[in-house]
Amino acid sequence: MAIYEITPNQIVPFDKTTFEAVGLRERDDLQRLLKRQIDVICPDVLVIAEGFREWEESRRELDLLAIDRNANLVVIELKRTEDAAYAELQAIRYAAMVSAMTFEKAAQAYAEHIRKNGIAGDATTGLLEFLDWDEADEDRFAQDVRIVLVAADFSKELTTSVMWLNERNLDIRCVRMRPYRDGERILVDVQQVIPLPEAEDYIVRIREKATRGRQDRLEEGGRQALRYAFWESLLERSLGQTKLFSNVSPSGESWIVTGAGLGGVHYGYAVRQHSNAIQLFLDGDKNTNKARFDWLSEQREAIEKSFGGKLDWYRCDHLKKSYLAQDFDGGWRDAQERWPAIQDRMIEAMMRLEKALQPYMSPLRQVVPKTESSSSSDTEFPNTE
Residues 247 and 189 in one domain: no
User: At 295, which CATH number?
Assistant: 3.30.1460
Q: How many structural domains compose the chain?
A: 2
Distances (CA, A) of 331 to 238, 335, 338: 17, 9, 9
Distances (CA, A) of 211 to 167, 216, 219, 270: 11, 8, 12, 30
3-state secondary structure 314-373: ECCCCCCCEEEEEEEECCCCCCHHHHHHHHHHHHHHHHHHHHHHHHHHHHHCCCEECCCC
More confident residue, 86 or 122: 122
User: At 74, which CATH number?
Assistant: 3.40.1350.10
Q: How confident is the model at residue 135 (pLDDT cuts 50, 70, 90)?
A: confident
Residues 232 and 170 in one domain: no
Residues 101 and 189 in one domain: yes
Residues 228 and 305 in one domain: yes
Residues 157 and 11 in one domain: yes
**pLDDT value at residue 377:** 44
List Cβ neighbours of 26 (8 Å cut-off, separation of 6 or more).
19, 78, 79, 80
H-run or E-run covering 287: helix 286-298
What's the rounded mean pLDDT across residues 363-383? 62
pTM for the model: 0.52
Instruction: Express each pLDDT in 156-189 by its tens digit.
Output: 888 888 888 888 888 899 999 888 888 888 888 8
Task: Please tell me the distance from the alpha carbon of residue 145 to that of residue 165, in angstroms, as a whole number.
Answer: 13
Distances (CA, A) of 101 to 66, 130, 354: 12, 18, 59
What's the rounded mean pLDDT across residues 231-257? 92
Residues 285 and 158 in one domain: no
**pLDDT value at residue 168:** 80
Whether residue 209 is predicted with pLDDT greater than 70 in this model: the reply is no
Q: Terminus-to-terminus CA distance in the chain, angstroms?
A: 96
Residues 92 and 153 in one domain: yes
**289 belongs to a structural domain:** yes
Residue 252 backbone phi and psi in degrees, to 5? -90, 0
H-run or E-run covering 91: helix 87-98
Residues 374 and 260 in one domain: yes
Residues 180 and 302 in one domain: no
Neighbours of 14 (CB within 10 A): 17
Residue 363 backbone phi and psi in degrees, to 5? -60, -30
Residue 132: domain span: 4-195
Neighbours of 344 (CB within 10 A): 14
Residues 189 and 320 in one domain: no
